[in-house]
Each structure stands twice: as structure tokens, then as C-alpha cells.
Amino acid sequence: MSFIYSTGMNAIVLMAVAALGLGGTRPAPAPLLMRGIWAECEGVNATFSSRAKIEEMFARLQSAGVNTVFMQVYRGDRAWYRSAIADAAPYREFYAAEHICPLRLAIDHAHARGMKLHAWVNVYRVWGGRDAGTIRALGRDAITRDRRGRSMLDCPKESLPDSGYWLDPGDPAVRARLLRIVEEILDRYPDIDGIHLDYVRYPFDEKGRTDFGYGRRSVATFQKKYGFDPAAAPLLKKHLWDEWRRAQVTAFVVDAAAAAHRRGKKLSVATVADEARCVRTTFQDWPRWVGEGIADFVVPMNYSEQRTLVRKRAQAALRAAGRPDRVAIGLGAYKMLNTPAELVSQIQECRALGAMGVVLFSYDNMTRAPGLFSLVGRKAFCGT
């Protein structure tokens, strides 16, 4: 599968020119092909509340040298686009005030500036309380359960993993509804550049353990195939349950990628930064997704102000992928609002490591230090 961010013959020419430099001169690092940013639908800046704020966002992103925007359009069954499936109240409120769809407006502004725009979709994580729209639409059994069969809806809120409720990835009804959301976005916005999946994994607790996925329909499906209850599985058979849960996440990514690729669009995934945890405990088998061309690229969320840790995790991700041109490193700009030089250094380091680019989290957080946009443009994204 060809890759949209490939520089093709231009890259070969640039490398050849660099190689002809004076003796002892080191060639310049490869350019950051993706200079991205995540834009939240309900962040501190309330960016998607008005036309003026969206227009201001694109002016700032242009000054920063951003060329790829990941716009959050679906979160907790609420839609910031024209949806007939999800709760489209945010879209309707924006349209009533501005007479245009927020996603349509953003796509037009991005393309007018030569930027790409991907629709950022939150998958299994549910925002809100027990009456959240997703739960009303799919029913209580769509929420995952722990090994004891206890629904997350019956857990004290302070004890919830990742601070919220989660849909069960192995539930066929859950998967079908979420796939319809992806297809609806692709069909209603045919000029969008891609779909970006987030929270497409199992939850984990504060110790990094996963003991969820025991939804009633998931357990019944597994038991029918393997002949035993995963909650009572002997240690020697536990790997079958882990492999099954991993396969459930992959199955949705495969379906979403097929929907995107049929329409000539890209499919990307935000992943947990620790590659080993991804595969073993959150069941995000992203090295396989990249290796088999299921996902066009992944973005490990490598958020830390500690450059050594960021470097270590970035190197591990690039090794695991085997294809650095399919890994963009997510950096936690929100952690470095008061130490902008550190953010610039992290961006430069990711470039030197050979990553296809970086994605900053997030636009709304960076508005608290608005000078950061032009600084990133001058010091990190310039000339790349």
C-alpha cells in the first residue's frame, strides 16, 4: 500500500545532495513529514464552540507550521458532525449559531492552507455517567465487566480504570455501532483525509493490569468457541483468553481500516506509549497493524517532560514497528507549556530518530501559552 506521506523521488534527491557535502559533514536529518496536532472537541479553549475560534485555531496552526490536524468529532456518543446515529446536539448547536457544520468548516480551512484533516474518533471509552448516550443506545450489557462478572456500572466511580466506563470490545453490537459511526463520517465528508482511532483498546488499572472484557456476550462467544469460561480458566489456558481479547480489538481496527481504504482514506491509531503494555495488557497489537498494512500509521502517546524517557519509548516504538515511516510520535506539549525549549528539543530528537513526524497534544492546552505556536514554527517545524 502506498503511503500518502512518502516523499518519493524528492527524498532520494535530497539524500543524494546531502551526501555530496564536504568531507566530514553529517547529512541533515530526514524531514518531519507529519507535523501534527490533536484538537479536542471539549477542551479548555472550547475551540469547537464557534466559527471565530476555529478560524483562530487554523491561523495559529499555520504559524506553527502544522500540516496535519486530528480533529475530535466523536466522543462518548456525542457528535461534532452531521450524524444520524450519534447524539448530534453539539453539531446542531454549532449549526444553529454559525449556519455551517464544524467539521465542514474545519476541513475547508485545513485544505485551504494545504493541511490534512483526520476525524478523531474515541472508540471504547465512555464519557459521562450511567445515563451516557452510548449506554442508552446499546444497553447496560454493552459495558465491560471484570473477572467476577461485575459491570463497571456497578463499580464506585473513584475505582474505575482510566477514570471512566468502557464498552466491551468483544461485544458484536458495540463493534457494529462504532463501525457505523466511522462509515457515516467517511460517507458524509468524502474529502476528509482519514479516520484516527483513539481508546481502541481494553482499559487498565493504576498498576497497568487488565482484568476486564468479561461482558456477557463476549464470554458467551468465547465459551462457545473454546468450551470453557475464561473467568475460571486454568493458568495454562489463560493465553487463549488474552489472544481472544487481542483479536477483538484487531477485528474492529481491520473493519475500520477496510471502510477507510475502500474510500481511498487513511486509518491511523493513537496507542499507549509503552509498546509491551500495548500488546500484553491493553491488547493493542499495533506492530501487527502496521506490519500488515491494516493501519497506515500509529501515534504512540509519548507524553513526558523527561527527554530520556521520551527517547527510550520512541526508540522502542520505532524498533517494534520495523517501519519508522509509519510511526509518528505523540508528544505531551501540555506538560511543557512553561518549558518550551524542552518541547522543541523533543521534536528535534524525534526527527533525528527517523520518525515520520510528531503529533502534539493538544491545541486547546497550547492556547494557555499562545506564544508556543510561533515558537514551534520557528524552532522546530521550520524547514521540515
**Residue 14 confidence (pLDDT):** 38
Could you check whether the bond before residue 49 is cis, i.e. omega within 30 degrees of 0?
Answer: no
pLDDT at position 278 over 90: no
Which domain does 286 fall in, by range? Answer: 47-295
- Residue 337 grid coordinates: 507549556
| pLDDT score recorded for residue 279 | 84
Give domain status of residue 329, yes or no.
no
Distance CA 146, CA 139 (A): 17
Those residues with Cβ within 8 angstroms of residue 257's Cβ, 6 or more apart along the chain or in another chain: 267, 289, 294, 295, 296
Task: Specify if 160 maps to a domain.
Answer: yes
101 has a pLDDT exceeding 90:
yes
- Environment class of residue 16 by beta-carbon count within 10 Å: exposed (0-12), middle (13-18) or buried (19+)? exposed
For the record, the C-alpha cell of 320 comes out as 517494534
Q: Is the pTM of this model over 0.75?
A: yes
Report the CATH number that the domain containing residue 120 is assigned in CATH.
3.20.20.80
Mean pLDDT over each residue of the chain, to the nearest integer: 90
**Cα(307)–Cα(310) distance, integer angstroms:** 5
Whether 153 is covered by a domain: the verdict is: yes
* 180 domain residue, yes or no: yes
Task: Return d(Cα 296, Cα 51) in angstroms, integer.
Answer: 31
Determine, yes or no, domain membership for 350: no
DSSP string, 198-261: ES-S----TTS---B---HHHHHHHHHHHSS-GGG--GGGHHHHHHHHHHHHHHHHHHHHHHHH
Q: Are 82 and 136 in contact (CB under 8 A)?
A: no
Which of helix, strand or coil describes residue 10? helix
pLDDT value, residue 3: 36
Percentage of the chain exceeding pLDDT 90: 78
pLDDT in the model for residue 79: 96
Domain count along the chain: 1
Q: For residue range 14-62, what is the model confidence (pLDDT) as tens digits?
A: 343 333 333 444 445 555 689 999 999 999 999 999 999 999 999 999 9
Q: Is residue 340 part of a domain?
A: no
**Structure confidence at residue 17 (pLDDT):** 34
- pLDDT-derived band at 68, boundaries 50, 70, 90: very high
Helix (H, G, I), strand (E, B) or coil at 69: strand
